[in-house]
Structure 1
Amino acid sequence: MAQLNETRMVLIGRTGGGKSSTGNMILGKRKEDEERFDDKTSGSSKTKQCNYIKELVGRKMIQVVDTPGLFDTDGETKTTDSLMEIAKCLIVSSPGPHAFLLVLSIGRFTPEIEKSIRNLRETFGEDFLSRTIIVFTRKDDLDHDKISIEDWKKTVPKYLATLMEECNQRYIAISNRYEDTEVQVNELFALIDELVKSNGGTYYSSARYVKVETEIRKMEEMQKAEIEQQRQEAIKSHSAQR
Protein backbone atom coordinates (compact mmCIF):
# COMPACT_ATOMS: atom_id res chain seq x y z
CA MET A 1 0.00 0.00 0.00
CA ALA A 2 1.34 3.42 -0.95
CA GLN A 3 2.31 5.77 1.82
CA LEU A 4 -0.22 8.52 2.54
CA ASN A 5 2.26 11.33 1.96
CA GLU A 6 4.05 9.81 -1.01
CA THR A 7 4.44 11.48 -4.39
CA ARG A 8 5.54 9.44 -7.41
CA MET A 9 6.80 11.11 -10.57
CA VAL A 10 8.23 9.93 -13.89
CA LEU A 11 10.86 11.81 -15.91
CA ILE A 12 10.51 11.71 -19.70
CA GLY A 13 12.84 13.48 -22.12
CA ARG A 14 15.83 13.26 -24.42
CA THR A 15 19.41 12.31 -23.65
CA GLY A 16 21.44 15.35 -22.67
CA GLY A 17 18.32 17.46 -22.07
CA GLY A 18 18.72 17.62 -18.31
CA LYS A 19 16.33 14.80 -17.42
CA SER A 20 18.57 12.93 -14.99
CA SER A 21 19.98 16.07 -13.39
CA THR A 22 16.39 17.26 -12.88
CA GLY A 23 15.72 14.05 -10.96
CA ASN A 24 18.84 14.64 -8.86
CA MET A 25 17.76 18.20 -8.16
CA ILE A 26 14.30 17.07 -7.00
CA LEU A 27 15.87 14.57 -4.62
CA GLY A 28 18.40 17.09 -3.33
CA LYS A 29 21.32 15.11 -4.75
CA ARG A 30 24.70 16.71 -5.21
CA LYS A 31 27.48 15.85 -7.66
CA GLU A 32 29.38 13.97 -4.99
CA ASP A 33 26.43 11.79 -3.95
CA GLU A 34 26.95 8.13 -4.80
CA GLU A 35 23.28 7.19 -5.20
CA ARG A 36 22.03 9.49 -7.93
CA PHE A 37 20.91 9.39 -11.54
CA ASP A 38 23.67 9.37 -14.16
CA ASP A 39 23.62 12.89 -15.59
CA LYS A 40 26.97 12.93 -17.38
CA THR A 41 26.95 14.75 -20.69
CA SER A 42 27.18 12.16 -23.43
CA GLY A 43 26.34 11.65 -27.08
CA SER A 44 24.65 8.34 -26.32
CA SER A 45 21.84 7.42 -23.98
CA LYS A 46 23.04 6.49 -20.51
CA THR A 47 19.59 5.49 -19.26
CA LYS A 48 18.59 2.38 -21.18
CA GLN A 49 16.09 1.07 -18.63
CA CYS A 50 13.84 2.60 -16.01
CA ASN A 51 15.79 3.55 -12.93
CA TYR A 52 14.26 4.91 -9.76
CA ILE A 53 15.22 6.41 -6.42
CA LYS A 54 12.81 6.63 -3.51
CA GLU A 55 13.56 8.55 -0.35
CA LEU A 56 12.27 11.06 2.17
CA VAL A 57 12.55 14.68 1.03
CA GLY A 58 11.53 16.99 3.84
CA ARG A 59 8.36 15.43 5.23
CA LYS A 60 7.32 13.78 2.00
CA MET A 61 8.30 10.42 0.54
CA ILE A 62 9.38 11.05 -3.06
CA GLN A 63 9.84 8.46 -5.78
CA VAL A 64 11.47 9.61 -9.00
CA VAL A 65 11.61 7.27 -12.01
CA ASP A 66 14.14 8.06 -14.75
CA THR A 67 13.35 6.63 -18.19
CA PRO A 68 15.32 6.04 -21.43
CA GLY A 69 15.95 9.01 -23.71
CA LEU A 70 12.81 9.02 -25.84
CA PHE A 71 13.91 11.65 -28.34
CA ASP A 72 17.33 10.16 -29.18
CA THR A 73 18.17 10.66 -32.86
CA ASP A 74 21.24 8.42 -33.15
CA GLY A 75 19.14 5.36 -33.96
CA GLU A 76 20.58 3.44 -31.03
CA THR A 77 17.28 3.38 -29.15
CA LYS A 78 14.15 2.47 -31.10
CA THR A 79 11.04 4.48 -30.38
CA THR A 80 8.95 1.42 -29.58
CA ASP A 81 11.62 0.05 -27.23
CA SER A 82 11.74 3.38 -25.40
CA LEU A 83 7.95 3.56 -25.17
CA MET A 84 7.82 0.02 -23.81
CA GLU A 85 10.44 0.82 -21.20
CA ILE A 86 8.58 4.00 -20.22
CA ALA A 87 5.39 1.95 -19.96
CA LYS A 88 7.15 -0.29 -17.44
CA CYS A 89 7.46 2.75 -15.19
CA LEU A 90 3.78 2.25 -14.44
CA ILE A 91 4.76 -0.98 -12.73
CA VAL A 92 7.92 0.42 -11.14
CA SER A 93 5.93 3.33 -9.69
CA SER A 94 3.08 1.08 -8.56
CA PRO A 95 0.26 1.77 -7.96
CA GLY A 96 1.02 4.50 -10.52
CA PRO A 97 2.70 7.91 -10.96
CA HIS A 98 1.05 11.12 -9.78
CA ALA A 99 2.90 13.23 -12.34
CA PHE A 100 4.81 12.91 -15.60
CA LEU A 101 7.60 15.48 -15.92
CA LEU A 102 8.19 16.11 -19.62
CA VAL A 103 11.71 17.53 -19.66
CA LEU A 104 12.52 19.73 -22.67
CA SER A 105 15.67 21.78 -23.13
CA ILE A 106 15.19 25.44 -23.99
CA GLY A 107 16.35 25.69 -27.57
CA ARG A 108 15.32 24.16 -30.86
CA PHE A 109 12.06 22.17 -30.80
CA THR A 110 12.67 19.66 -33.60
CA PRO A 111 10.14 17.68 -35.68
CA GLU A 112 11.62 14.51 -34.12
CA ILE A 113 10.72 15.75 -30.64
CA GLU A 114 7.21 16.68 -31.79
CA LYS A 115 6.73 13.23 -33.32
CA SER A 116 7.90 11.55 -30.11
CA ILE A 117 5.47 13.57 -28.02
CA ARG A 118 2.65 12.67 -30.42
CA ASN A 119 3.59 8.99 -29.97
CA LEU A 120 3.54 9.45 -26.20
CA ARG A 121 0.07 10.97 -26.28
CA GLU A 122 -1.27 8.31 -28.62
CA THR A 123 0.21 5.51 -26.51
CA PHE A 124 -0.62 6.75 -23.02
CA GLY A 125 -3.95 8.40 -23.84
CA GLU A 126 -5.23 11.90 -23.15
CA ASP A 127 -5.08 11.17 -19.42
CA PHE A 128 -1.33 11.54 -19.87
CA LEU A 129 -1.59 15.30 -20.46
CA SER A 130 -3.84 15.82 -17.44
CA ARG A 131 -0.95 14.54 -15.32
CA THR A 132 1.93 16.22 -17.15
CA ILE A 133 4.13 19.14 -16.16
CA ILE A 134 6.56 20.50 -18.76
CA VAL A 135 9.99 21.20 -17.28
CA PHE A 136 12.17 23.44 -19.43
CA THR A 137 15.86 23.12 -18.58
CA ARG A 138 18.74 25.53 -19.32
CA LYS A 139 16.96 28.49 -17.74
CA ASP A 140 20.42 30.00 -17.24
CA ASP A 141 20.54 30.58 -21.03
CA LEU A 142 17.46 32.77 -20.74
CA ASP A 143 18.90 34.53 -17.70
CA HIS A 144 22.10 35.24 -19.63
CA ASP A 145 20.12 36.88 -22.43
CA LYS A 146 17.80 38.60 -19.92
CA ILE A 147 14.72 36.90 -21.38
CA SER A 148 11.84 35.76 -19.18
CA ILE A 149 10.19 32.38 -19.72
CA GLU A 150 6.97 34.23 -20.55
CA ASP A 151 8.65 36.20 -23.34
CA TRP A 152 10.42 33.09 -24.63
CA LYS A 153 7.11 31.22 -24.69
CA LYS A 154 5.83 33.67 -27.32
CA THR A 155 8.54 32.48 -29.74
CA VAL A 156 7.97 28.71 -29.55
CA PRO A 157 6.48 26.63 -32.42
CA LYS A 158 2.70 26.34 -32.56
CA TYR A 159 2.64 22.68 -31.51
CA LEU A 160 4.64 23.37 -28.36
CA ALA A 161 2.47 26.39 -27.49
CA THR A 162 -0.65 24.25 -27.94
CA LEU A 163 0.89 21.50 -25.84
CA MET A 164 1.49 23.95 -23.00
CA GLU A 165 -2.15 25.02 -23.21
CA GLU A 166 -3.32 21.41 -23.15
CA CYS A 167 -1.23 20.87 -20.02
CA ASN A 168 -3.18 23.77 -18.50
CA GLN A 169 -0.06 25.98 -18.57
CA ARG A 170 1.72 23.70 -16.09
CA TYR A 171 5.33 24.46 -16.95
CA ILE A 172 8.46 25.67 -15.23
CA ALA A 173 11.92 26.77 -16.34
CA ILE A 174 14.85 25.57 -14.24
CA SER A 175 18.62 25.63 -14.21
CA ASN A 176 20.21 22.21 -13.80
CA ARG A 177 23.29 23.54 -12.06
CA TYR A 178 23.79 22.26 -8.54
CA GLU A 179 23.77 25.70 -6.92
CA ASP A 180 20.79 27.49 -5.41
CA THR A 181 18.25 24.80 -6.31
CA GLU A 182 15.97 25.10 -3.27
CA VAL A 183 13.75 27.86 -4.71
CA GLN A 184 13.09 26.14 -8.04
CA VAL A 185 12.55 22.77 -6.36
CA ASN A 186 9.92 24.36 -4.11
CA GLU A 187 8.28 25.93 -7.17
CA LEU A 188 8.22 22.55 -8.93
CA PHE A 189 6.81 20.80 -5.85
CA ALA A 190 4.08 23.47 -5.67
CA LEU A 191 3.16 22.70 -9.30
CA ILE A 192 3.12 18.95 -8.58
CA ASP A 193 0.96 19.42 -5.46
CA GLU A 194 -1.44 21.57 -7.49
CA LEU A 195 -1.57 18.90 -10.21
CA VAL A 196 -2.25 16.10 -7.71
CA LYS A 197 -4.97 18.19 -6.07
CA SER A 198 -6.62 18.97 -9.42
CA ASN A 199 -6.79 15.22 -10.10
CA GLY A 200 -8.40 14.55 -6.73
CA GLY A 201 -5.27 12.94 -5.35
CA THR A 202 -5.51 10.12 -7.88
CA TYR A 203 -2.68 8.77 -10.01
CA TYR A 204 -2.17 7.35 -13.50
CA SER A 205 -3.16 3.76 -12.80
CA SER A 206 -0.70 0.95 -13.49
CA ALA A 207 -3.73 -1.06 -14.62
CA ARG A 208 -3.36 0.82 -17.92
CA TYR A 209 -0.06 -0.95 -18.58
CA VAL A 210 -1.70 -3.81 -20.50
CA LYS A 211 -3.53 -1.37 -22.79
CA VAL A 212 -0.37 0.69 -23.27
CA GLU A 213 1.62 -2.44 -24.09
CA THR A 214 -0.98 -3.42 -26.71
CA GLU A 215 -0.75 0.02 -28.35
CA ILE A 216 3.04 -0.20 -28.48
CA ARG A 217 2.87 -3.66 -30.05
CA LYS A 218 0.51 -2.29 -32.71
CA MET A 219 2.93 0.52 -33.44
CA GLU A 220 5.78 -1.98 -33.65
CA GLU A 221 3.88 -4.16 -36.14
CA MET A 222 3.03 -1.13 -38.28
CA GLN A 223 6.69 -0.12 -38.38
CA LYS A 224 7.72 -3.66 -39.37
CA ALA A 225 5.09 -3.73 -42.12
CA GLU A 226 6.30 -0.37 -43.44
CA ILE A 227 9.92 -1.56 -43.48
CA GLU A 228 8.92 -4.76 -45.29
CA GLN A 229 6.93 -2.78 -47.86
CA GLN A 230 9.94 -0.55 -48.51
CA ARG A 231 12.14 -3.64 -48.88
CA GLN A 232 9.75 -5.21 -51.39
CA GLU A 233 9.57 -1.97 -53.39
CA ALA A 234 13.35 -1.78 -53.44
CA ILE A 235 13.56 -5.37 -54.77
CA LYS A 236 11.02 -4.61 -57.51
CA SER A 237 12.87 -1.43 -58.46
CA HIS A 238 16.19 -3.30 -58.61
CA SER A 239 14.67 -6.08 -60.77
CA ALA A 240 13.11 -3.56 -63.16
CA GLN A 241 16.52 -1.92 -63.72
CA ARG A 242 18.09 -5.18 -64.91
Structure 2
Amino acid sequence: MPKRGGNIVVIGSSGPSQFLLTNFILGREAFSKDVYSIAASQKSLGELAGRRVAVVNGPNLYDKDLSKSKMRKELRRSMCLSSPGPHAVLVTFDLEKISPNDMKTPKLVMKKFGETVLNYTIVLLLYDGHLRGRALNDRVMRTDWHLRELVEQCSCRYHIFSKHWKNRDGSKELLHKIERILRAVDGHCYINRSYQRAEESVRNEERKLQKKRQAEMEWTRQELEVQFQGDELRWQMDAYNASVGAEIWAEAELENRWLRTSLTVGLGVGFVAGAIMGMIVGSVEGPAGMAVGGAVGGVVGGTSGAAIQVAIEHLDERVGPHASSFNRLLLIASLGNLGSECGKRVF
Protein backbone atom coordinates (compact mmCIF):
# COMPACT_ATOMS: atom_id res chain seq x y z
CA MET A 1 0.00 0.00 0.00
CA PRO A 2 1.46 3.42 -0.95
CA LYS A 3 2.45 5.78 1.85
CA ARG A 4 0.63 9.05 2.28
CA GLY A 5 2.48 11.93 0.63
CA GLY A 6 0.24 14.95 1.24
CA ASN A 7 -1.02 17.93 -0.75
CA ILE A 8 0.93 19.54 -3.57
CA VAL A 9 -0.16 22.84 -5.09
CA VAL A 10 1.11 23.48 -8.62
CA ILE A 11 1.13 27.03 -9.98
CA GLY A 12 2.21 28.24 -13.40
CA SER A 13 3.23 31.64 -14.69
CA SER A 14 2.18 30.95 -18.28
CA GLY A 15 2.09 28.19 -20.87
CA PRO A 16 1.68 24.44 -20.38
CA SER A 17 4.52 23.85 -17.89
CA GLN A 18 2.35 23.33 -14.80
CA PHE A 19 0.13 20.82 -16.61
CA LEU A 20 3.06 18.82 -17.97
CA LEU A 21 4.49 18.79 -14.42
CA THR A 22 1.20 17.43 -13.09
CA ASN A 23 1.34 14.64 -15.67
CA PHE A 24 4.92 13.93 -14.60
CA ILE A 25 3.98 13.71 -10.91
CA LEU A 26 0.92 11.52 -11.47
CA GLY A 27 2.47 9.37 -14.19
CA ARG A 28 -0.58 9.73 -16.41
CA GLU A 29 -2.09 12.25 -18.81
CA ALA A 30 -4.28 14.27 -16.46
CA PHE A 31 -3.96 17.16 -18.94
CA SER A 32 -3.44 16.96 -22.69
CA LYS A 33 -0.40 18.60 -24.27
CA ASP A 34 -2.65 21.33 -25.72
CA VAL A 35 -3.77 22.66 -22.30
CA TYR A 36 -2.23 26.05 -21.53
CA SER A 37 -4.72 27.27 -18.92
CA ILE A 38 -7.75 26.10 -16.96
CA ALA A 39 -10.92 27.98 -16.09
CA ALA A 40 -11.23 26.45 -12.61
CA SER A 41 -8.74 24.98 -10.13
CA GLN A 42 -8.59 21.18 -10.28
CA LYS A 43 -7.53 18.38 -7.95
CA SER A 44 -6.03 15.07 -9.08
CA LEU A 45 -5.08 12.04 -6.98
CA GLY A 46 -2.15 9.77 -7.73
CA GLU A 47 1.24 8.50 -6.63
CA LEU A 48 4.69 10.05 -6.59
CA ALA A 49 7.55 7.62 -5.94
CA GLY A 50 5.26 5.25 -4.05
CA ARG A 51 3.45 7.91 -2.03
CA ARG A 52 -0.16 8.97 -2.40
CA VAL A 53 -0.47 12.63 -3.31
CA ALA A 54 -3.20 15.11 -4.10
CA VAL A 55 -2.11 17.55 -6.80
CA VAL A 56 -4.04 20.81 -7.00
CA ASN A 57 -3.63 22.95 -10.12
CA GLY A 58 -4.43 26.62 -9.72
CA PRO A 59 -4.86 29.16 -12.51
CA ASN A 60 -1.87 30.55 -14.35
CA LEU A 61 -0.93 33.66 -12.40
CA TYR A 62 -0.64 35.87 -15.48
CA ASP A 63 -3.71 34.58 -17.31
CA LYS A 64 -5.09 37.63 -19.10
CA ASP A 65 -8.40 35.89 -19.75
CA LEU A 66 -9.25 35.75 -16.03
CA SER A 67 -10.73 38.81 -14.35
CA LYS A 68 -9.41 39.79 -10.94
CA SER A 69 -12.56 38.53 -9.24
CA LYS A 70 -12.35 35.19 -11.11
CA MET A 71 -8.66 34.85 -10.25
CA ARG A 72 -9.43 35.55 -6.60
CA LYS A 73 -12.16 32.92 -6.54
CA GLU A 74 -9.96 30.30 -8.23
CA LEU A 75 -7.11 30.91 -5.79
CA ARG A 76 -9.62 30.42 -3.00
CA ARG A 77 -10.84 27.25 -4.68
CA SER A 78 -7.27 25.93 -4.85
CA MET A 79 -6.98 26.57 -1.10
CA CYS A 80 -10.19 24.66 -0.43
CA LEU A 81 -8.98 21.77 -2.58
CA SER A 82 -5.65 21.64 -0.72
CA SER A 83 -6.92 22.28 2.82
CA PRO A 84 -5.82 22.12 5.59
CA GLY A 85 -2.76 23.28 3.64
CA PRO A 86 -0.15 22.19 1.07
CA HIS A 87 2.99 20.28 1.99
CA ALA A 88 4.72 21.76 -1.04
CA VAL A 89 4.04 24.55 -3.54
CA LEU A 90 5.56 23.99 -6.97
CA VAL A 91 5.92 27.05 -9.20
CA THR A 92 6.61 26.09 -12.80
CA PHE A 93 8.41 27.81 -15.67
CA ASP A 94 9.58 26.87 -19.13
CA LEU A 95 13.36 27.18 -18.88
CA GLU A 96 13.62 28.44 -22.46
CA LYS A 97 10.90 31.05 -22.16
CA ILE A 98 11.44 32.78 -18.82
CA SER A 99 10.68 36.48 -19.17
CA PRO A 100 11.61 39.46 -16.98
CA ASN A 101 8.00 39.43 -15.80
CA ASP A 102 8.55 35.96 -14.34
CA MET A 103 11.03 37.41 -11.86
CA LYS A 104 8.02 38.88 -10.05
CA THR A 105 6.38 35.48 -9.58
CA PRO A 106 7.71 34.65 -6.07
CA LYS A 107 6.55 38.05 -4.84
CA LEU A 108 3.16 37.47 -6.46
CA VAL A 109 2.91 34.00 -4.88
CA MET A 110 3.59 35.56 -1.45
CA LYS A 111 0.94 38.18 -2.11
CA LYS A 112 -1.65 35.54 -3.00
CA PHE A 113 -0.73 32.81 -0.49
CA GLY A 114 1.06 34.58 2.37
CA GLU A 115 4.49 35.84 3.43
CA THR A 116 5.98 32.51 4.56
CA VAL A 117 4.75 30.35 1.66
CA LEU A 118 8.19 30.46 0.00
CA ASN A 119 9.45 28.21 2.81
CA TYR A 120 7.36 25.49 1.15
CA THR A 121 8.09 26.44 -2.46
CA ILE A 122 10.21 24.74 -5.12
CA VAL A 123 10.90 26.25 -8.55
CA LEU A 124 10.21 23.68 -11.30
CA LEU A 125 11.88 24.21 -14.66
CA LEU A 126 10.57 22.54 -17.80
CA TYR A 127 13.48 21.70 -20.10
CA ASP A 128 14.02 19.75 -23.30
CA GLY A 129 17.46 20.90 -24.47
CA HIS A 130 20.83 19.24 -25.00
CA LEU A 131 22.44 20.14 -21.64
CA ARG A 132 22.52 17.51 -18.92
CA GLY A 133 23.71 17.08 -15.35
CA ARG A 134 26.33 19.53 -14.10
CA ALA A 135 26.19 21.70 -17.22
CA LEU A 136 22.45 22.16 -16.83
CA ASN A 137 22.71 23.01 -13.14
CA ASP A 138 25.52 25.47 -13.89
CA ARG A 139 23.26 27.22 -16.35
CA VAL A 140 20.61 27.71 -13.68
CA MET A 141 22.89 28.80 -10.83
CA ARG A 142 25.84 30.44 -12.60
CA THR A 143 25.30 31.40 -16.21
CA ASP A 144 21.82 32.97 -16.23
CA TRP A 145 21.67 35.59 -13.51
CA HIS A 146 17.87 36.00 -13.80
CA LEU A 147 17.38 32.27 -13.25
CA ARG A 148 19.69 32.33 -10.26
CA GLU A 149 17.80 35.28 -8.80
CA LEU A 150 14.49 33.49 -9.29
CA VAL A 151 15.72 30.30 -7.61
CA GLU A 152 17.45 32.13 -4.76
CA GLN A 153 14.13 33.67 -3.76
CA CYS A 154 13.03 30.10 -2.94
CA SER A 155 16.20 29.24 -0.93
CA CYS A 156 17.83 27.68 -4.04
CA ARG A 157 15.25 24.88 -4.19
CA TYR A 158 14.65 23.91 -7.80
CA HIS A 159 14.07 20.84 -9.92
CA ILE A 160 14.35 20.32 -13.66
CA PHE A 161 11.90 18.01 -15.42
CA SER A 162 11.45 16.95 -19.03
CA LYS A 163 8.66 17.69 -21.47
CA HIS A 164 8.66 13.93 -22.02
CA TRP A 165 6.73 13.49 -18.76
CA LYS A 166 6.31 9.72 -19.15
CA ASN A 167 9.99 9.35 -18.23
CA ARG A 168 9.69 9.58 -14.43
CA ASP A 169 13.36 8.98 -13.60
CA GLY A 170 13.40 12.22 -11.63
CA SER A 171 10.28 11.50 -9.58
CA LYS A 172 12.18 10.14 -6.57
CA GLU A 173 14.54 13.11 -6.64
CA LEU A 174 11.57 15.49 -6.64
CA LEU A 175 9.99 13.59 -3.74
CA HIS A 176 13.24 13.81 -1.77
CA LYS A 177 13.28 17.60 -2.27
CA ILE A 178 9.70 17.83 -1.01
CA GLU A 179 10.62 15.67 1.98
CA ARG A 180 13.52 18.01 2.77
CA ILE A 181 11.04 20.88 2.90
CA LEU A 182 8.88 18.88 5.32
CA ARG A 183 11.85 18.15 7.57
CA ALA A 184 12.75 21.84 7.61
CA VAL A 185 9.23 22.78 8.77
CA ASP A 186 8.95 19.79 11.14
CA GLY A 187 6.44 17.91 8.99
CA HIS A 188 3.75 20.57 9.08
CA CYS A 189 1.76 21.68 6.07
CA TYR A 190 1.58 25.37 5.18
CA ILE A 191 -1.19 27.17 7.08
CA ASN A 192 -2.18 30.81 7.20
CA ARG A 193 -5.36 32.74 7.93
CA SER A 194 -6.81 32.13 4.47
CA TYR A 195 -6.18 28.39 4.70
CA GLN A 196 -7.82 28.33 8.13
CA ARG A 197 -10.88 30.02 6.61
CA ALA A 198 -10.85 27.54 3.75
CA GLU A 199 -10.76 24.50 6.01
CA GLU A 200 -13.42 25.90 8.34
CA SER A 201 -15.72 26.63 5.41
CA VAL A 202 -15.18 23.18 3.85
CA ARG A 203 -15.87 21.43 7.16
CA ASN A 204 -19.02 23.48 7.77
CA GLU A 205 -20.25 22.60 4.28
CA GLU A 206 -19.36 18.95 4.92
CA ARG A 207 -21.57 18.91 8.03
CA LYS A 208 -24.46 20.46 6.11
CA LEU A 209 -24.17 17.87 3.34
CA GLN A 210 -23.98 15.02 5.85
CA LYS A 211 -27.15 16.26 7.52
CA LYS A 212 -28.85 16.64 4.14
CA ARG A 213 -28.01 13.04 3.20
CA GLN A 214 -28.58 11.53 6.63
CA ALA A 215 -31.84 9.77 5.73
CA GLU A 216 -30.34 8.32 2.52
CA MET A 217 -27.24 7.09 4.35
CA GLU A 218 -29.28 5.49 7.14
CA TRP A 219 -31.49 3.68 4.62
CA THR A 220 -28.41 2.31 2.79
CA ARG A 221 -26.88 1.07 6.02
CA GLN A 222 -30.09 -0.75 6.90
CA GLU A 223 -30.06 -2.38 3.46
CA LEU A 224 -26.48 -3.54 4.02
CA GLU A 225 -27.46 -5.06 7.37
CA VAL A 226 -30.15 -7.07 5.60
CA GLN A 227 -27.75 -8.37 2.93
CA PHE A 228 -24.56 -9.02 4.94
CA GLN A 229 -23.42 -10.28 8.31
CA GLY A 230 -20.26 -10.44 10.43
CA ASP A 231 -16.95 -9.42 8.88
CA GLU A 232 -18.52 -8.97 5.45
CA LEU A 233 -21.04 -6.50 6.89
CA ARG A 234 -18.27 -4.52 8.58
CA TRP A 235 -16.25 -4.44 5.37
CA GLN A 236 -19.25 -3.29 3.30
CA MET A 237 -20.19 -0.68 5.91
CA ASP A 238 -16.63 0.72 6.09
CA ALA A 239 -16.41 0.84 2.30
CA TYR A 240 -19.74 2.64 2.04
CA ASN A 241 -18.90 5.16 4.77
CA ALA A 242 -15.53 5.89 3.19
CA SER A 243 -17.08 6.32 -0.27
CA VAL A 244 -19.84 8.65 0.92
CA GLY A 245 -17.41 10.59 3.12
CA ALA A 246 -15.03 11.18 0.20
CA GLU A 247 -17.91 12.20 -2.06
CA ILE A 248 -19.27 14.69 0.47
CA TRP A 249 -15.82 16.14 1.16
CA ALA A 250 -15.13 16.57 -2.55
CA GLU A 251 -18.44 18.39 -3.00
CA ALA A 252 -17.73 20.62 0.01
CA GLU A 253 -14.32 21.54 -1.42
CA LEU A 254 -15.88 22.74 -4.66
CA GLU A 255 -18.94 24.49 -3.22
CA ASN A 256 -18.87 26.22 0.15
CA ARG A 257 -19.69 29.54 1.74
CA TRP A 258 -16.19 31.00 1.42
CA LEU A 259 -16.27 30.52 -2.35
CA ARG A 260 -19.82 31.82 -2.64
CA THR A 261 -18.90 34.89 -0.58
CA SER A 262 -15.99 35.78 -2.89
CA LEU A 263 -18.35 35.78 -5.88
CA THR A 264 -21.06 37.77 -4.07
CA VAL A 265 -18.62 40.43 -2.86
CA GLY A 266 -17.14 40.77 -6.35
CA LEU A 267 -20.57 41.26 -7.89
CA GLY A 268 -21.54 43.74 -5.16
CA VAL A 269 -18.43 45.86 -5.65
CA GLY A 270 -18.97 45.72 -9.41
CA PHE A 271 -22.61 46.83 -9.10
CA VAL A 272 -21.84 49.86 -6.93
CA ALA A 273 -18.82 50.78 -9.06
CA GLY A 274 -20.96 50.59 -12.18
CA ALA A 275 -23.72 52.67 -10.63
CA ILE A 276 -21.25 55.37 -9.60
CA MET A 277 -19.64 55.29 -13.02
CA GLY A 278 -23.00 55.67 -14.75
CA MET A 279 -24.04 58.58 -12.53
CA ILE A 280 -20.76 60.42 -13.08
CA VAL A 281 -20.83 59.94 -16.83
CA GLY A 282 -24.53 60.80 -16.84
CA SER A 283 -23.84 64.03 -14.97
CA VAL A 284 -22.13 65.33 -18.09
CA GLU A 285 -25.49 65.09 -19.85
CA GLY A 286 -27.50 66.59 -16.97
CA PRO A 287 -29.81 65.30 -14.15
CA ALA A 288 -31.72 62.97 -16.47
CA GLY A 289 -28.46 61.46 -17.60
CA MET A 290 -27.49 60.83 -13.99
CA ALA A 291 -30.63 58.80 -13.34
CA VAL A 292 -30.36 56.72 -16.51
CA GLY A 293 -26.57 56.41 -16.24
CA GLY A 294 -26.79 55.27 -12.62
CA ALA A 295 -29.33 52.54 -13.41
CA VAL A 296 -27.57 51.25 -16.50
CA GLY A 297 -24.13 51.54 -14.90
CA GLY A 298 -25.32 49.48 -11.93
CA VAL A 299 -26.42 46.65 -14.17
CA VAL A 300 -23.25 46.73 -16.25
CA GLY A 301 -20.96 47.01 -13.23
CA GLY A 302 -22.73 44.15 -11.48
CA THR A 303 -21.47 41.73 -14.09
CA SER A 304 -17.84 42.13 -13.04
CA GLY A 305 -15.90 42.35 -9.78
CA ALA A 306 -13.18 44.25 -11.67
CA ALA A 307 -15.45 47.17 -12.50
CA ILE A 308 -13.29 49.80 -10.78
CA GLN A 309 -10.64 49.90 -13.50
CA VAL A 310 -13.25 49.42 -16.21
CA ALA A 311 -15.21 52.36 -14.82
CA ILE A 312 -12.21 54.68 -14.92
CA GLU A 313 -11.24 53.59 -18.43
CA HIS A 314 -14.77 54.14 -19.75
CA LEU A 315 -14.93 57.48 -17.98
CA ASP A 316 -11.78 58.66 -19.76
CA GLU A 317 -13.11 57.48 -23.10
CA ARG A 318 -16.44 59.29 -22.56
CA VAL A 319 -15.42 62.75 -21.31
CA GLY A 320 -11.64 62.86 -21.77
CA PRO A 321 -8.82 62.62 -19.23
CA HIS A 322 -8.73 66.32 -18.32
CA ALA A 323 -12.43 66.96 -17.93
CA SER A 324 -12.80 63.83 -15.81
CA SER A 325 -10.07 64.55 -13.27
CA PHE A 326 -12.55 65.60 -10.57
CA ASN A 327 -14.93 62.79 -11.46
CA ARG A 328 -12.09 60.26 -11.34
CA LEU A 329 -11.23 61.39 -7.83
CA LEU A 330 -14.88 61.15 -6.79
CA LEU A 331 -15.14 57.66 -8.29
CA ILE A 332 -11.95 56.41 -6.65
CA ALA A 333 -12.87 57.93 -3.28
CA SER A 334 -16.34 56.38 -3.37
CA LEU A 335 -14.97 52.98 -4.30
CA GLY A 336 -12.24 53.32 -1.69
CA ASN A 337 -14.89 53.75 1.01
CA LEU A 338 -16.72 50.73 -0.31
CA GLY A 339 -13.49 48.72 -0.44
CA SER A 340 -12.68 49.52 3.20
CA GLU A 341 -16.03 47.99 4.20
CA CYS A 342 -15.59 44.88 2.04
CA GLY A 343 -11.82 44.44 2.36
CA LYS A 344 -11.94 42.07 5.31
CA ARG A 345 -14.12 39.68 3.32
CA VAL A 346 -12.22 39.83 0.05
CA PHE A 347 -9.30 37.43 -0.48
What TM-score comes out, normalization by structure 2 length?
0.55
Question: What residue number does 1:7 align with?
Answer: 6
Question: What residue number does 2:41 align with?
Answer: 50
Check if 1:190 corresponds to 2:176. yes
Runs (4+) of structure 1 exceeding 6 A deviation are 211-218
User: In 2, are the aligned partners of 1:54 and 1:64 still within 8 Å (CA)?
Assistant: yes
Check if 1:41 corresponds to 2:34. yes
User: In 2, are the aligned partners of 1:11 and 1:100 still within 8 Å (CA)?
Assistant: yes
Q: Which amino acid aligns with 1:229?
A: I
Q: Which amino acid aligns with 1:7?
A: G
SS of the equivalent of 1:134 reads strand
Residue of structure 1 aligned with 2:117, choices 128, 138, 151: 128
Q: Which amino acid aligns with 2:26?
A: L
Question: What residue number does 2:296 align with?
Answer: none
Task: Tell me which moved more, 188-197 or 76-85.
Answer: 76-85
Residue of structure 2 aligned with 1:151, choices 125, 136, 139: 139
RMSD (Å) for aligned C-alpha atoms: 3.5
Q: Which amino acid aligns with 1:164?
A: V
Between 1 and 2, higher relative CO (CA 8 Å, sep ≥ 6) is seen in 1
Q: How many residues align?
A: 223
User: In 1, are the aligned partners of 2:9 and 2:86 still within 8 Å (CA)?
Assistant: yes
Q: Which amino acid aligns with 1:94?
A: S
Check if 1:62 corresponds to 2:36. no
Task: Tell me which moved more, 172-181 or 125-134.
Answer: 172-181
Q: Which amino acid aligns with 2:88?
A: A
SS of the equivalent of 2:116 reads helix
Question: What residue number does 2:194 align with?
Answer: 208
**1:136, 1:79 → 2: CA distance?**
27
Task: Tell me which moved more, 4-13 or 54-63.
Answer: 54-63
SS of the equivalent of 2:131 reads helix
Q: Unpaired runs of 5+ in structure 2?
A: 199-257, 271-304, 324-347
User: In 2, are the aligned partners of 1:17 and 1:103 still within 8 Å (CA)?
Assistant: no
Question: What residue number does 1:164 align with?
Answer: 151
Alpha-carbon offset, residue 56 of structure 1: 4.3
Question: What residue number does 1:32 align with?
Answer: none
Q: Unpaired runs of 5+ in structure 1?
A: 30-35
Residue of structure 2 aligned with 1:234, choices 302, 306, 317: 317
> Percent identity among equivalent residues?
22
Which structure shows the bigger proportion of residues in helix conformation? Answer: 2
Max Rg structure: 2
User: In 2, are the aligned partners of 1:132 and 1:167 still within 8 Å (CA)?
Assistant: yes
SS of the equivalent of 1:143 reads coil
Alpha-carbon offset, residue 233 of structure 1: 2.8
Alpha-carbon offset, residue 134 of structure 1: 0.4
SS of the equivalent of 1:102 reads strand
**1:58, 1:153 → 2: CA distance?**
27
